[in-house]
A = this chain, B = another copy of it.
């Protein structure tokens, strides 16, 4: 259960200092939806004219919140966001839809807007009815708590089995103005591309049209949240939102290819990658952070699939947990990806040391630095397919007894 799990050994030393984002106000409260003695509900208020982009789970059994958010974004006038942790409000039939509407209405009443202007997200156990009365009861607390800060409490309010709150920030120059980006995220099981029991909310004061924001977010997600995996499982509730208040007063960019966006894109991707990596660092039971670099594939897409096959292989993940440079299992994973590969062209390195080359183990390679590398908590696996120029980078964690312990009795 959240709170009772020890902090991940891969966690950053502390929660970062996050600045306020002009135009944005936050409030969190302990509604007792499931957890006790911690914030579990988050409200974010956006000013009139805010633009919001979203990327959602590809699950065929997505929650009603996802459908609701898509509808809100299509109408183009979002004024805020309400999130609850502990119950995903997913797979509860008509009650799920009702729960989403109650959350939207509760938030809209506080902010003085229409329910159809409220984005809604929920994370936690699937298939149990949302105790919406508890959320309604928390409304006065939320109303009184709205402030332009409170990031740490906000990041805690969206946690489930996460062992630490996740936040990141960056600034960028955009048409002569300095703009701020701040994001929070939660994991930490069912983490796979497209996406995970993963919620992430990123805010900026930049003025950027919605269509450009959407493209920026989609492209950024592909190299961050869609490049991580913990267990290959995909949640029904995954939501990544990017909200732009427009209060920075910058001249808006004209298109996605506007050169003025270069620095903003860099800063946004920095925040997205930072948050995605924190999600991996809090993967259930994780003891090692693994970076998988695939090069030489026939295409970037192929490299990505190979990287994910390696990252999702229980045999590779347990080998790394055991500090074993078992490159044979990496070969196996490349083979099972179904992507073009030639056994006799494959090269594999761990910790920068080539241990298999052109189809066979490197005779007498220096095992000492490899063993030392695998004893650390950050592992690099490089795989060269030797066929083309396709490359991809995937992040994952190892598979340990901790994952089994957490998941063999999460619900009970």
User: Which residues of A line the B interface, CB within 8 A?
Assistant: 57-62, 88, 90-96, 125-128, 189-190, 192, 231-236, 312-315, 318-319, 321-322, 324, 326-329, 331-344, 346, 356, 358-361, 399-401, 403-405, 407-412
B60 adjacent to A127 (CB under 8 Å): no
B340 adjacent to A60 (CB under 8 Å): yes
A231 adjacent to B314 (CB under 8 Å): yes
A360 adjacent to B327 (CB under 8 Å): no
A318 to B232, CA, bound (A): 14
Q: Is the interface of A mostly helix, strand, loop or mixed?
A: loop
Among A192, A401, A404, the most chain B Cβ lie within 10 Å of the Cβ of A404
Shortest Cβ distance from A96 into B: residue: B360
Within 8 Å CB of A404, what residues of B? 318, 321, 399-401, 403-404
Within 8 Å CB of A322, what residues of B? 407-410, 412
Can you offer 14 A-B residue contacts whose CB atoms are under 8 A?
A60-B338, A60-B341, A61-B341, A90-B331, A91-B360, A92-B359, A128-B328, A231-B314, A235-B332, A236-B335, A318-B404, A319-B408, A321-B404, A404-B404
A99 to B51, CA, bound (A): 64
B92 adjacent to A319 (CB under 8 Å): no
A128 adjacent to B61 (CB under 8 Å): no
CB proximity of A267 to chain B, nearest CB, Å: 32
A360 to B344, CA, bound (A): 51
Shortest Cβ distance from A233 into B: residue: B315
Within 8 Å CB of A405, what residues of B? 401
A405 to B321, CA, bound (A): 10
Q: Given A93-B358, A314-B233: A408 and B324 within 8 A (CB)?
A: yes
Shortest Cβ distance from A64 into B: residue: B343
B319 adjacent to A234 (CB under 8 Å): no
A403 adjacent to B233 (CB under 8 Å): no
Q: Which of B61, B235, B399, B408 contacts A321 (CB 8 A)?
A: B408
A342 to B60, CA, bound (A): 7
Q: Which of B92, B334, B339, B407 contacts A315 (CB 8 A)?
A: B407
Within 8 Å CB of A313, what residues of B? 232-233
CB proximity of A328 to chain B, nearest CB, Å: 3
Shortest Cβ distance from A58 into B: residue: B338
Within 8 Å CB of A232, what residues of B? 232, 312-314
B324 adjacent to A412 (CB under 8 Å): yes
Within 8 Å CB of A312, what residues of B? 232
Within 8 Å CB of A339, what residues of B? 60
Within 8 Å CB of A329, what residues of B? 126, 233
Within 8 Å CB of A61, what residues of B? 331-332, 334-335, 341, 343, 346
B190 adjacent to A332 (CB under 8 Å): yes
Shortest Cβ distance from A321 into B: residue: B408
CB proximity of A62 to chain B, nearest CB, Å: 7
B332 adjacent to A92 (CB under 8 Å): no
Q: Given A61-B331, A233-B332, A336-B192: A91 and B359 within 8 A (CB)?
A: yes
A90 to B401, CA, bound (A): 29
CB proximity of A291 to chain B, nearest CB, Å: 20
A341 to B128, CA, bound (A): 20
